């Protein structure tokens, strides 16, 4: 039937256009069939890749996709529920298998896809209908012979095949992922059972939050077949500039703001955060900075100690690239030569960094600042000298030199101090440092960790030059008969 658009109202025209787009594009289908569906740019990226996979198998080509997405960011709703319904609307003869860590969860996915296909909105778009005699939530068929089978990892799919196979979160929790026996069992099932069910050139889509380097995704990416796979990796907070966001920005700010993600990160700790939200799993067995080495003291406890104070700053990359971070470490060294460390990870330009240094000098009163040589000479020193004269406030700054030592080796110089129990992290002040330690040396960022590594150099040089005597501009120390200086605060970034 031909429709004369001139006879329709604007709302009727918009409705027809929306329906046309819903039949053609997965992301529009998601919106048209669900008026509560919220679209962010990353949903469009995922939808485009899934639709491309469908178009590839329609042409007789094979498709392989890995989606690494944080929890609650819409990966399953779009990929495991709506995508199969969209495919069956266009190709009702296709068999689809969906796998998850448990039969119950896989069956729930099947029920939600079935309910979507039985909805009025869906049936206004497509002619595909389900067979009346085959509508169990874990297994149902279309009138055209296609259908949907849901199964838990390890479950039987003998006699079943797929044109599209979706594996959505095959590991239930950390305990499963950390078990080599469980990992091996799931991998064997994937290889010997699931893969053998593919009909000709089909599409396999694996959707995961990463738990372990040796999980199914890790094994695929370390195999000879890795080049076949398109990897869509979407960390909750960008670790570098991307097409749709800058480094440090959240993936879905309307739902998970930076503050929400930061609170989640603090609650989970760097190990779980890195795996689940940043898609960078940490292999605890291969981890160089062991979790059990990290000890804690409260700020209140540290401020009661007699300490020497040193600040080290690693600004080199940040002053060249505005999207990068500056690492700052404050070290309170107590009389037992134990470090008590606080850290900052900041985005600052040269003048902002200088103002922050004055605040540190006022509130912490370090005996020395140490800054990496190249960045200090090029971007900081002339302005810092000028600001000191202007304020009539002077403090010592040391140029730290890498001395042709690779950064990885410099950072590894911290390991003996940590392993001997000689470092305390000040509670609530070291989340970024701990994240970098957990992922070292494979992590994208090491700004704070490198600033901490420079503590070895600044302290060693100061000991040689001054035999650890108190500078004249600070109060007399108890080592010379006076009362020790005890700072009462660490700068609050919200006030400076």
- Residue 3, in any domain of the structure: no
269 against 302, higher pLDDT: 302
**pLDDT value at 428 more than 60:** yes
pLDDT value of position 479: 36
pLDDT band at 44; cut points 50, 70, 90: very high
Number of domains making up the chain: 2
Q: Which of 277, 308, 338 is the last residue of a domain?
A: 277
| Residue 350 pLDDT > 80 | yes
In this structure, the answer to whether residues 214 and 91 fall within a common structural domain is: yes
- pLDDT surpasses 70 at 405: no
pLDDT tens-digit profile of 159-204?
788 999 999 989 988 888 888 899 999 999 999 999 999 998 999 9
Same domain, 297 and 367: yes
368 in the same domain as 223: no
Range of the domain at 82: 25-277
Q: What is the pLDDT of residue 380?
A: 87
Residue where a domain stops, chosen among 277, 312, 347: 277
Low-confidence winner among 17-21, 277-281, 403-407 (lowest mean pLDDT): 403-407
Give the model confidence (pLDDT) of 226-258 as tens digits: 899 999 999 999 988 899 999 899 999 999 999
Which range, of 5-9, 46-50, 295-299, 474-478, averages the lowest pLDDT? 474-478
Most confident of 205-214, 253-262, 479-488: 253-262
Task: Annotate the chain with three-state secondary structure.
Answer: CCCCHHHCCHHHHHHHHHHHHHHHCHHHHHHHCCCCCCCCHHHHHHHHHHHHHHHHHHCCCCEEEEEECCCCCCHHHHHHHHHHHHHHHHCCCCEEEEEECCHHHHHHHHHHHHHHHCCHHHHHHCCCCEEEEEEECCEEEECCCCEEEEEECCCCCCCCCEEEEEEECCCCCHHHHHCHHHHHHHHHHHHHHHHHHEEEEEEEEEEECCCCCCCHHHHHHCCCCHHHCEEEECCCECCCCCCCCCCCCECCCCCCCHHHHHHHHHHHCHHHHHHHHCCCCCCCCCCCCCHHHCEEECHHHHHCCCCEEEEEEECHHHHHCCCCCEEEEEEEECCCCCEEEEEEEECCCHHHHHHHHHHHHHHCCCCEEEEEHHHHHHHHHHHHHHHHHHHCCCCCEEEECCCCCCHHHHHHCCHHHHHCCCEEEECCCCHHHHHHHHHCCCCCCCHHHHHHHHHHHHHHHHHHHHCCCCCCCCCCCHHHCCCCCCCCCCCCCCCC
Looking at the fold, whether 314 and 460 belong to one and the same domain comes out as yes
Residue-wise pLDDT tens digits, 376-389:
887 788 899 999 99
Regarding whether 177 and 213 lie in a shared domain, the answer is yes
**pLDDT given at position 391:** 93
Query: Is 258 within a domain?
Result: yes
């Amino acid at each position: 039937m031909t429709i004369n658009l001139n006879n329709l109202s604007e709302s009727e025209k918009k409705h027809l256009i929306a329906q046309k787009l819903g039949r053609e594009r997965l992301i529009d289908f998601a919106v048209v069939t669900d008026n509560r569906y919220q679209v962010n740019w990353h949903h469009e990226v995922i939808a485009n890749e899934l639709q491309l996979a469908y178009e590839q198998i329609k042409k007789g080509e094979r498709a392989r996709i890995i989606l690494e997405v944080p929890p609650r960011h819409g990966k399953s709703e779009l990929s495991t529920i709506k995508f199969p319904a969209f495919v069956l609307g266009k190709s009702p003869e296709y068999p689809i298998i969906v796998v998850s860590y448990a039969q119950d969860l896989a069956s729930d996915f099947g029920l939600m896809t079935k309910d979507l296909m039985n909805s009025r909105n869906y049936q206004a778009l497509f002619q595909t209908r389900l067979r009346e005699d085959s509508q169990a939530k874990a297994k149902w068929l279309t009138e055209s012979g296609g259908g949907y089978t849901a199964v838990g990892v390890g479950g039987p799919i003998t006699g079943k095949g797929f044109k599209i196979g979706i594996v959505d979160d095959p590991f239930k929790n950390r305990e499963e992922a950390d078990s080599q026996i469980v990992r091996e069992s799931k991998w064997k099932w994937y290889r010997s059972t699931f893969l053998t069910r593919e009909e000709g050139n089909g599409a396999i889509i694996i959707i995961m939050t990463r738990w372990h380097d040796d999980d199914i995704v890790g094994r695929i990416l370390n195999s000879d077949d890795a080049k076949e796979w398109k990897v869509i990796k979407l960390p909750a907070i960008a670790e570098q500039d991307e097409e749709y966001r800058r480094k440090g920005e959240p993936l879905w700010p309307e739902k998970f703001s930076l503050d929400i993600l930061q609170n989640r990160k603090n609650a989970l700790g760097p190990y779980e955060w890195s795996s689940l939200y940043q898609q960078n799993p940490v292999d605890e067995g291969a981890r160089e900075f062991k979790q059990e080495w990290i000890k804690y003291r409260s700020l209140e406890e540290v401020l009661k100690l007699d300490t020497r104070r040193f600040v080290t700053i690693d600004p080199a990359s940040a002053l060249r690239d505005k999207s990068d971070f500056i690492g700052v470490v404050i070290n309170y060294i107590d009389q037992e030569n134990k470090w008590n460390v606080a850290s900052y990870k900041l985005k600052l330009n040269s003048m902002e960094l200088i103002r922050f240094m004055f605040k540190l000098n006022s509130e912490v009163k370090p005996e020395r600042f140490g800054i990496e040589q190249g960045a200090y000479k090029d971007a900081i020193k002339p302005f810092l000298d000028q600001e000191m004269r202007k304020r009539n406030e002077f403090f010592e700054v040391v140029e730290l030199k890498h001395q042709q030592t690779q950064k990885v080796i410099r950072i590894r110089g911290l390991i003996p101090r940590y392993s001997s129990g000689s470092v305390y992290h000040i509670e609530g002040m070291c989340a970024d440092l701990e994240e970098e330690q957990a992922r070292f040396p494979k992590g994208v960022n090491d700004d704070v960790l490198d600033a901490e590594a420079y503590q070895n150099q600044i302290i060693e040089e100061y000991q040689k030059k001054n035999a650890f005597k108190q500078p004249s501009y600070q109060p007399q120390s108890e080592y010379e008969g006076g009362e020790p200086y005890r700072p009462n605060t660490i700068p609050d970034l919200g006030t400076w």
